[in-house]
Structure 1
């Protein structure tokens, strides 16, 4: 039997050049009888822990290594290839150091390069090197003009890796292999260096070659049939069996045998399952356990001062719970973990960095609460410690901590300084090829029409974790039904089958590397002791292992999450407290806001929740109005209910009906013993904690055992559920509970365990939601100013917030260089000053210069004064300021200012230069002012439409008015109403965006505010002053109507409304489009004009006649209505005075009469 081991397999973690999945690789290696396999991904060991765990389980020896690029200097245009394999732990740590160095110091053209000088003998101990075949330095020399030079290069490498350097041979059908192999064999003999055969594996089976090529084309942006695309790989680069390799290298059996020898020499063993906590200093006389207990008891006294008899009794219960938690924490060895978390949270609070009240199951720990890690009393809210840390299931605790988004990096810096920058890192995460995206990708590389592929892709539900198989045939776990249309297309259309079959083979492959949202690892030694580090060029340094692999190695992961809402709350409270302190009032603290404030609940019950954390969506507002929350427990329930499972199961309706007493039947608790657990949720099992409590009281489970039951119910494994059912029923019998009732309750628990939510998380986030609602109810201007600031770069969000302000009586004042700051600021209780930072093209540095100069030397008096005094101004910045209205206070209208800017700017620069060169006396302020007068040409002010258009260009929205106001009343006759109103009135399942396949025919109108291309569709943003909506035009439709689709044109669009789950937004695919003015002209049947009171009747009629005369070529009847003291008379002018109701006529009538003095009659509805 031939023996051979593949040593150079690239997995999907090589990012781009392989489609090999580690579990399938190990499975196939075991099947073909290979004792070991080496994975050498390009410049990384991302897959190391995954390979190790799977291979050991399958009885296959994992060989860890990496392909690296080597150069003399970073300027070398074409680095050579080298493969490094780990013989032992020393070798791995040396490889870890080298790979890290490549990413931190060796970046060139987005590639990590190892400089040859770094590979000195002492730095490569424990590593075997393979030469890289014809792509290595030796191979290139052999194929070059001076093959003898290869001898010297080989001798040099052999000296660096004495007895551990192998000349690598490939026979996969690539260019120059026939020359390289014989020359390499000869050279190896001359230098007494061993040879080894490898196959440069990139896929598992020969028939996978086309799939691999598709993966390469996706990355390159090419199509498979592109004759110009590079063909870098061959169909021979699959995982060949030992027999197949023997056929290829029948003339060189030692090259095969040496693969076995290398595999035997590589014996890296990784220790998994141990825990490596960072070194923690505690006061003398303490260890981690004793210090944690002391800190916790001190915190308990601080959290619960004994001010009454009731409080004393309460403290006894707390002390008992605290002691129980401390015992578990200390026994499990996690005291240090709690102390570390408490330390950096304490530092954050002391350094004015807001920290969230809690997140996830950690809010269920009393120890966390008394240490200041969380700010939510777990006993008051009936939260369970065992949901966070289960003594019967040993796993690391995992606190997710929310920090103010502006301060998160400062906390990371603190931790890095405290424990050592070489011991702290953010954690990598990997993006994969998800179902919808991979269908689009494959459609593109196959050259299919975009519209065709888009139609197929949109049939795939946008649900996290959905697969193409699940989209077609359904997914029980995700509760997704199969799409019949997609299934039919797959069966009936060959092109769809080809598309989906190829996409399925790529689905789930790793696409890219990124930064985990919050993961931070802190190690007791330099991180390269445990793993290499990774970095994009100039970007954040990350671990090369993802969070699961970091934890498998025993390192401690912490989640530092940036939460924008904490920044909003902090900024709002600081603004509010400036006013309160000035009035000698106590400053506010978010954590001490009263939780029973009626004004706050009134605001919530109205659904006025723009800017309120977690409660902004249309679907959530509808649920709030139905539930009518009036306490914090209601908000906790609200967040738990508003999820796809409960919304689709009928739970929500049951909960609301029972809460309002609208259910004709009494609430069924199934057994009296359950009433205390389910009373607060009206008999509905809403929280995971309730499942645990039911198991404890009914069946005698320990809380740890109850948590294991909860987990088992979530996973729904039949064997495990049968085992748990038996335990539950036996336990219930001991409580004298009827077996039939116990069985029904178990079934109920099993059903709702899948819907149940983590109450600890819901409670913590409900508290934040309440805080934002309280601030909006009591200090609306300060709060909304803070929300606007947080979203100043998001024009779509600013539009929504502006609308909310107007609905709540808050006016947004135009920006002003003499009073605005970078942020939005509250002027008083009903007005907010626009932030200069929200003006497009005006950067933070310019705003800082403006504010600094204004504070130092007073307000700016005119344009020249402004240009003289502020640095970093240019034409683009000044025009943006002028168009937004920020220069209105300088004494000239906007049109005049925009025209004057180039000359005034030149004059200011000239004067500044003169002063700096000592010629300031020649250009005193008087002379400057006189010269300025020559440059400022008075211009007529812009029309309303021009002014509003300039505001939109500079601010992204209309601020002092809206051009569509002139159209709204007219278009209401042709459409389904305002965009906002129509979306709000959709059925609940549609408005929540739960069904991507449910669509609706719609006619809507609005003003074009943006036009851009996305892939092969043209996107038009319509704005009707209540909402913005994206309209999609495919190329044919757009080209037909492009003469109508221009910025600032008012359009009426017929199309198909659907929810884009990816962007979480509504959009309409256009079928037809018409100018609103044309629609009005064609369909206006009668215009009724109100005779103005107290007017000169004769002059009025004369003016009206002159106004109407140019437009008498239409068929819209004119009616004049006179209202006297006791009667109303309507007079028509007959066919001779029918008019065409153009925009010009409407505008002129508005000037003559006022917009509210005439009305237009249309047919009942025009489709």
Structure 2
């Protein structure tokens, strides 16, 4: 009878979690339950799983609506019906069209039942498989009609949407959020009826006591529905070639050829490892997974796309031989069991990075290569979290924005409305808010994707599942991770610019020489790494200095210990201390020295966690990997995590380890496993870092232009222009005769791209470049206006940024001319169409001069940053303050520096206070790092960018100097200088 149940995946409507819905039904003694979320089959698999655990028969379907209008309910009679429902949803989502008023799509489909709400369709017009669902409150409408002759077409419909009155209120709040309206103005037709709760079976039967045939119909229909979902069967594409056996033969052939290319013919260790891997890959049925990844790489190579293969699969020598990764597992002694062990049920991860400019092409290839009915991007769900909850509920109750923002930071309410917001906000936390797209996951299935999920079409333009990675993994579909990152874009663009500007072809894959190059070693040791992939952040640069890092192995370790959680646990500091005091290391246990001597007894990589769990705690390799995954958050909070921890502790006691030692080892494992990389992953990052370092070291100007054109990395665009200036680039403001849409370089001369002019329209940029290409350089302002006819506002912006300085006239003169000529030039006649070239209008104007400070202000306002040293604008004398290069001479002393803000990082302390770390530059464009403990952070908060005087004590941490701030004052900008007309 419960054939119309919703969970919170009826987004911004239902309030039950999937598990709670099933548990509530079980508590009521309900034996059959149908899940019909609104236009969504997101949680059908979870629903079936929970029902099986509670011995409830699951029925799955969907409730079809256009906006707030309920059209019909679809129930799957079987798995074919579920696939048909998903295909129906997918068709309409991808075409972005409304659902039809009647379910004619299913009229002749015996696998789907159609249930119309009362009064939606006349009983006499119903076809086979079509029914009318009637509410208890609608039964009185049957009297006086000829319903008896159609009684076999009526079903009991008792919608289930919320738990009780409190959750009904939450439902109304969700509807108001969805409609972006005040709660007091929420239309009644957008809400559910207050009685859409789990009425007990006996109470429901009592309501339909006079209509036993309707009850019987409902039982019969639900009894006829059968859904069989196998959570154990592998649902991935079974074979890359003709058969699984052909896959085995092909993979061995490709790996053997690659082994010879990588290692030669006489490396017995490599051969033995390759054959060991191939056997396990075949035994576990992962041949096609490896071959599909190889196929993607082969396509990328054919298109000249740069890529980096990482993830746990990069521990594999087979992957190295197939060139999926460039990390040598023999050289790095990569732990085989992190990549694969015989107990593993899912294949290892291959995270394959491409330039952001190339990834869509790769995805498009996968769709076309394996078929659109078998390929989809993986979905995800954004959830309601604290700040968004308070903001949305605050708007629903009509609070002003300032009060909402104050409430976001408050721990207690000051009035009834605020108390209500906080009360319902706690209920709303973690509810799904929107269906989104996984950052990189793609699915390639053996059977059509509709058998598992419906698809929608995000702005990205690729079909995406209404199913997230956790459901996909649970039901046996493994994702392919196709990622994009700016770092590879930097490299690709750098190589293009170097070839164009210097005529040099760079072999960017010459990693062996990069890692031993003296100049590159110096760059890393001094942390001159701005723009370089993964090693440019303030924290990473400080870590490189503390480790005096100038080699590949140390950089690989640094990539992992910089991860969140490690610093908080104290293990990062412990690693640095042991790195510098190797003769004083006291190992926690002899097994730590035996298995972790390379990392000084500190767990640095995920493999280290597996090793310690296996050798120290006696867990099998499969159990150790489950522990590693549980600590990463995949199973945290569920029963699997609790059970594995209990086994770990029990094993430690059996092996004679003290509880104190066992808990300390657990603490260390937990701090690393949750955030650290596997070693191959870190090594892959380090290889790309070396590529960037090579380019930055030997082609610094081209490299920084490439970083700018790929819209940076950790920092804002401003810093990359500063770094370009430090590298010797002669930076010019945008110019209509020399600039392109993106920033360009010729020799040492750099012309800023039009794209950095914040308010300049895309069509204006295109027009300037295309007209210049077609008609040659612009002769003067009048020529530009006549050939482009752009609007006055856009024209004035170009004049103000200095884009017409080639005319030799000041910006003030040009602004006068621009306004006059714009009015004169009412009709746009391209030069190519005019019979004669007009002479420019001559103006007689008073002497109008420009001022350098005005130019800087114009750059700041139009670009968002200056193209020259920003200290030209500070309203102080920088020479009166200690420069960054001399800070180390004042160790433990209190000094004051004048600095320009670059970045900050706010963190929460163990006492729930807030502090922050500041990153600044001084007048010489050198770095100044500051630490602002809670007292100083509260008294002198970081308001915004700009200039600051920071007073504090100079401290030293492993050779890295910083200032513990005691006081911080904002320093103003010089006033604009408006010249008077002479």
TM superposition score category, shorter chain reference: 0.7 to 0.9
- Aligned residue among 3, 25, 34 for 1:7: 3
Q: Which residue of 2 aligns with 1:969?
A: 877
- Going from structure 1 to structure 2, the CA distance change for 1:212 and 1:845 (only over 3 Å counts) comes to closer
**Equivalent residue runs for 1:824-973 within 5 Å:** 824-828=743-747, 832-843=750-761, 846-848=764-766, 850-851=768-769, 854=772, 858-868=776-786, 873-901=790-818, 904=821, 910=827, 912=829, 916=833, 920-921=834-835, 924-925=836-837, 928-929=838-839, 932-934=840-842, 940-960=848-868, 962=870, 965-969=873-877
Choose 499-508 or 525-534, whichever is displaced more: 525-534
- Going from structure 1 to structure 2, the CA distance change for 1:900 and 1:170 (only over 3 Å counts) comes to farther
Q: Which residue of 2 aligns with 1:328?
A: 280
Following TM superposition, by how much is the alpha carbon of 1:125 offset from its aligned partner in structure 2, in angstroms? 2.2
Q: Contact (CA 8 Å) 2:354, 2:484: kept in 1 or not? A: yes
Q: Contact (CA 8 Å) 1:895, 1:942: kept in 2 or not? A: yes
Following TM superposition, by how much is the alpha carbon of 1:856 offset from its aligned partner in structure 2, in angstroms? 6.0
Following TM superposition, by how much is the alpha carbon of 1:371 offset from its aligned partner in structure 2, in angstroms? 0.6
Following TM superposition, by how much is the alpha carbon of 1:497 offset from its aligned partner in structure 2, in angstroms? 5.7
Q: Which residue of 2 aligns with 1:398?
A: 349
- Aligned residue among 675, 693, 697 for 1:777: 697
DSSP-derived class of the 2:584 partner: coil
Q: Which residue of 1 aligns with 2:487?
A: 565
Q: Which residue of 2 aligns with 1:1159?
A: none
Distance 2:772 2:830 in 1: 21
Q: Which residue of 2 aligns with 1:270?
A: 229
- Aligned residue among 522, 527, 530 for 1:607: 527
Matched, 1:752 2:698: no
- Aligned residue among 595, 598, 606 for 1:677: 595
DSSP-derived class of the 1:196 partner: strand
Would you say how many aligned residue pairs link Structure 1 and Structure 2?
Answer: 928
- Please give the root-mean-square deviation of Cα atoms over the aligned residues, in Å: 4.2
Q: Contact (CA 8 Å) 2:906, 2:914: kept in 1 or not? A: no
**TM-score relative to the length of structure 1:** 0.72
Q: Which residue of 2 aligns with 1:660?
A: 580
Q: Contact (CA 8 Å) 2:163, 2:198: kept in 1 or not? A: yes
Following TM superposition, by how much is the alpha carbon of 1:640 offset from its aligned partner in structure 2, in angstroms? 1.6
- Aligned residue among 786, 797, 800 for 2:719: 800
Q: Which residue of 2 aligns with 1:765?
A: 685
- Going from structure 1 to structure 2, the CA distance change for 1:118 and 1:130 (only over 3 Å counts) comes to closer
DSSP-derived class of the 1:155 partner: helix
Choose 37-46 or 905-914, whichever is displaced more: 905-914
Q: Which residue of 2 aligns with 1:548?
A: 470
**TM-score relative to the length of structure 2:** 0.84
Q: Which residue of 2 aligns with 1:629?
A: 549
- Going from structure 1 to structure 2, the CA distance change for 1:592 and 1:335 (only over 3 Å counts) comes to same
Following TM superposition, by how much is the alpha carbon of 1:103 offset from its aligned partner in structure 2, in angstroms? 1.5
Distance 2:541 2:968 in 1: 32
Q: Which residue of 1 aligns with 2:887?
A: none
Matched, 1:66 2:62: yes
Q: Which residue of 1 aligns with 2:124?
A: 155
Q: Which residue of 2 aligns with 1:20?
A: 16
Q: Deviations over 1:251-300 (max 9, x none)?
A: 43443443322221211222332223336553899700011000001111
Q: Deviations over 1:898-929 (max 9, x none)?
A: 3333554677774726964xxx44xx12xx01
Q: Which residue of 1 aligns with 2:361?
A: 410
Matched, 1:514 2:436: yes
- Going from structure 1 to structure 2, the CA distance change for 1:456 and 1:763 (only over 3 Å counts) comes to farther
Q: Contact (CA 8 Å) 2:731, 2:750: kept in 1 or not? A: yes
Q: Which residue of 2 aligns with 1:130?
A: 115
- Going from structure 1 to structure 2, the CA distance change for 1:278 and 1:897 (only over 3 Å counts) comes to farther
Distance 2:535 2:96 in 1: 47
Specify which structure has the bigger relative contact order, considering alpha-carbon pairs within 8 angstroms and separated by 6 or more residues.
Answer: 2
Distance 2:235 2:158 in 1: 39
**Equivalent residue runs for 1:577-726 within 5 Å:** 577-579=499-501, 581=503, 587-589=507-509, 591=511, 594-661=514-581, 666-670=584-588, 674-675=592-593, 677-694=595-612, 703-704=621-622, 706-708=624-626, 710-711=628-629, 717=641, 719-724=643-648
- Going from structure 1 to structure 2, the CA distance change for 1:441 and 1:625 (only over 3 Å counts) comes to same
Q: Which residue of 1 aligns with 2:886?
A: none
- Aligned residue among 735, 751, 761 for 1:816: 735
Following TM superposition, by how much is the alpha carbon of 1:697 offset from its aligned partner in structure 2, in angstroms? 5.8
- Going from structure 1 to structure 2, the CA distance change for 1:376 and 1:996 (only over 3 Å counts) comes to farther
Distance 1:392 1:553 in 2: 18
Q: Which residue of 2 aligns with 1:83?
A: 73
Q: Contact (CA 8 Å) 1:1005, 1:1053: kept in 2 or not? A: no
Q: Which residue of 2 aligns with 1:1104?
A: none
Matched, 1:422 2:346: no
Q: Which residue of 1 aligns with 2:307?
A: 355
Distance 2:94 2:277 in 1: 43
Q: Deviations over 1:539-576 (max 9, x none)?
A: 54311222232334433421111111111111112222
Q: Structure 1, unaligned stretches of length 5 or more?
A: 71-76, 139-149, 307-311, 460-485, 733-738, 1007-1023, 1030-1044, 1055-1070, 1078-1141, 1149-1167
- Going from structure 1 to structure 2, the CA distance change for 1:383 and 1:797 (only over 3 Å counts) comes to same
Distance 1:900 1:501 in 2: 62
Q: Which residue of 1 aligns with 2:409?
A: 458
Following TM superposition, by how much is the alpha carbon of 1:889 offset from its aligned partner in structure 2, in angstroms? 1.4
Distance 2:502 2:415 in 1: 70
Q: Contact (CA 8 Å) 1:669, 1:678: kept in 2 or not? A: no
Q: Which residue of 2 aligns with 1:1032?
A: none
Q: Which residue of 2 aligns with 1:368?
A: 319
Distance 2:725 2:399 in 1: 47
Q: Contact (CA 8 Å) 1:948, 1:961: kept in 2 or not? A: no
Q: Deviations over 1:369-424 (max 9, x none)?
A: 11111111122222223213332131243322111111111011111221122322
DSSP-derived class of the 2:37 partner: strand
Q: Contact (CA 8 Å) 2:437, 2:464: kept in 1 or not? A: yes
Q: Contact (CA 8 Å) 2:511, 2:690: kept in 1 or not? A: no
Q: Which residue of 2 aligns with 1:1062?
A: none
Distance 2:623 2:915 in 1: 49
Distance 1:608 1:1004 in 2: 15
DSSP-derived class of the 2:644 partner: helix
Distance 1:182 1:763 in 2: 72
DSSP-derived class of the 1:113 partner: coil
Choose 813-822 or 693-702, whichever is displaced more: 693-702
Q: Contact (CA 8 Å) 2:782, 2:841: kept in 1 or not? A: no
- Going from structure 1 to structure 2, the CA distance change for 1:393 and 1:493 (only over 3 Å counts) comes to farther
Q: Structure 2, unaligned stretches of length 5 or more?
A: 882-893, 931-942, 951-966
Choose 344-353 or 886-895, whichever is displaced more: 886-895
Q: Which residue of 2 aligns with 1:1039?
A: none
Distance 1:578 1:982 in 2: 35
DSSP-derived class of the 1:882 partner: helix
Following TM superposition, by how much is the alpha carbon of 1:530 offset from its aligned partner in structure 2, in angstroms? 3.6
Distance 2:264 2:918 in 1: 63
DSSP-derived class of the 1:85 partner: strand
Q: Contact (CA 8 Å) 1:903, 1:935: kept in 2 or not? A: no
Q: Deviations over 1:26-79 (max 9, x none)?
A: 000000011111111111211211111111111111111111147xxxxxx996
Matched, 1:169 2:93: no
Q: Contact (CA 8 Å) 1:69, 1:79: kept in 2 or not? A: yes
- Going from structure 1 to structure 2, the CA distance change for 1:796 and 1:240 (only over 3 Å counts) comes to same
Following TM superposition, by how much is the alpha carbon of 1:514 offset from its aligned partner in structure 2, in angstroms? 1.1
